[in-house]
Each structure stands twice: as structure tokens, then as C-alpha cells.
Structure 1
Amino acid sequence: MKKRVHIFVSGKVQGVFYRDFTKRQAKRLNIYGWVRNLLDGRVEVVAEGEEEDLKKFIEELKKGPPAARVFDIKIDWQEPTFEFTDFEIIY
């Protein structure tokens, strides 16, 4: 079943290739959406895909790339909008 998640990741997640890591994981799991840095130091992710794939995606986001340190992750499950055709980094 297709789902959508809106995620906020806190910790040492900027300047450590977290967005690139997120995009690579999304591509690997056939997930669509976007990722961006926020001014307060968090990373925001909006993603759509199969529920099981999104669960795997979230587990990867909890780990992050080697230089990252994830302290907290907020997840809001939503109904999909099917607005995405790719996964991109927003600057």
C-alpha cells in the first residue's frame, strides 16, 4: 500500500552528506519525494512509496551516513498525493 511520510531529522545531519545519503537510499528503495536542510539545523524529508519500503527508508535515515549523528526523528504518516516522479535534493 502506498503511503507518504513527512520527516524531520535532528542531530549532526548537516555538512555530513546526509541529504545525498537520503537520496541514494530513496533511489535504492523506489521512493519519490525530496530532502532539504532547514535553517535550524534539522533535515526535512517528504517521501512517498510502498509502506514497507518507507519503513526500510526510515530505518536507514535513523542511521545516516558515517559522519552523521541522528539524535531524533519525527515521522508523520500521511496519505500519498502521487505528486512526485523522482527524489531530489532541494537547495
Structure 2
Amino acid sequence: MNKKGSIKVVHLFIVGKVQQVGYRYWFKHEGEDNKLKGWVRNTNNNRVEAEITGDKKSINFMIKRCWKGPIIAKVENIIVKNINKVSLIEENLKGIKILETT
């Protein structure tokens, strides 16, 4: 993770039956297991939104895992936006923070 260019930041919108199924808590656990940091929250349009940063391999693995999610979730789509800078993640943030619904 210390090589320049090996860090990736992505903004995700996870669409489907992803609220009231434990998706944010699952996301936090999976992300932290993969040494990622960032945030996750529900949106008022029944999506889950997240921003994560970490090495490219871990990010790509996490995106693949997001298609499964917790056992009772049903993911229909994942919108991935690569971003050049960290927007809401503090530099010293550890792990994945669950934020309030927007």
C-alpha cells in the first residue's frame, strides 16, 4: 500500500434490497477485514452509499463481495465511481465508519 499509485478511492452506490438486511454492518466487517477505510450509510432512496480507500486489489475484491452482501440482501446493481481524492474520509480514520442516513 505504500507504492505511489497503488492506493485507490471509490464511491459506491449499492442498489436493490440492501436496507433493513444488515448490509451496512456486513460492509463494515468485510471492509475492515480487507484493511480498507472509509464510510457507509443508507440513503433516503433505499440504496447503500459508501466511499472506501485502500490498495487496488482489496478494493476490487470488496466490490466483488458487495454483489453477495449479507445472506438476505439482493443486490441488483453497483454503481462504482473512481475518484481522485478522498472526499469525506479523514486521513486518520481507521476502518469503516457507519454514518447517518442521508
The structural deviation recorded for 1:62 is 1.1
Instruction: Say whether the 8 Å CA contact 1:31–1:47 is kept in structure 2.
Output: yes
What per-residue deviation string (whole Å, max 9, x for no partner) do you get for residues 3-49 of structure 1?
10000010000000000000001110000000000000000010000
**Aligned alpha-carbon RMSD (Å):** 1.2
Once residues 54 and 29 of structure 1 are traced to their aligned partners in structure 2, the CA distance between those partners, rounded to angstroms, is 8
Relative to the length of structure 1, the TM-score reads 0.94
Relative to the length of structure 2, the TM-score reads 0.84
Matches within 5 A, 1:1-91: 1-81=6-86, 83-84=90-91, 85-86=93-94, 87-91=96-100
Once residues 79 and 57 of structure 2 are traced to their aligned partners in structure 1, the CA distance between those partners, rounded to angstroms, is 18
Aligned residue type for 2:97: E
* Structure (1/2) with the larger strand percentage: 1
In structure 2, the gaps of 5 or more residues are: 1-5
Structure possessing the higher radius of gyration over alpha carbons: 2
Identity of aligned residues (%): 33
Once residues 83 and 52 of structure 2 are traced to their aligned partners in structure 1, the CA distance between those partners, rounded to angstroms, is 10
Aligned residue type for 1:50: D
Q: Size of the alignment, in residue pairs?
A: 91
* Structure (1/2) with the larger helix percentage: 1
